[in-house]
Amino acid sequence: MKECKDESSHAKNDDFRQMSILLEFIHEHALSIDFGMLILIWMVQIIVYPTFHKVVEEEFVTWHRTYCNAIGFFVLPVMVCQLMEASSACFFTPENLAWVKLLAVLGAWAITFLISAPCHRNLQEGKDTLVIDRLVRTNWWRTVLWTIAFVVSVVIYYS
């Protein structure tokens, strides 16, 4: 019986060690992760979302589906890494600014899932200029929040 406990204990230690290595890697690259998110959100805000208006109605659903499937491969890993870094930084760094960054990231996530995702679901049904306008308008909130997260990351990194 003792051997089983030892094996279980070793497995848990290995899992903890692997998670520690992952978090350490993410913390070491926090500024790069935040910069990647900053570039992505500004490109979406300035280039991608306004372009939705220019796609012809007959091709919009196909184009939008392609866009949504493709952008997820770029955005989701960065968002997840950023959330992991921002949340764990609050517990492993003495910087109070880490909490500001976490709030900015959580706010961006909330807007993403409560406002942006429903807009995209509506656009899967067809082109709707009012929904596109709402998406562009409300995406400014995410753009500001992810910009704040990056600025805080720069301040923490260089302080």
* Domain segments of the chain as ranges: 30-158
Residues 117 and 49: their CA atoms lie apart, in Å, by: 13
How many residues in the chain?
Answer: 159
pTM across the whole model = 0.84
d(CA 7, CA 20): 20
Q: What is the pLDDT along the chain (159 residues), one digit of tens a residue?
A: 555 555 555 556 676 666 676 667 677 778 899 999 999 999 999 999 999 999 999 999 999 999 999 999 999 999 999 999 999 888 877 778 999 999 999 999 999 999 999 999 999 999 999 999 999 999 999 999 999 999 999 998 888
Query: Phi first, then psi: what are they for 55, rounded to 5°?
Result: -75, 130
**3-state secondary structure string, 53-105?**
HHCCHHHHHHHHHHHHHHHHHHHHHHHHHHHHHHHHHHHHCCCCHHHHHHHHH
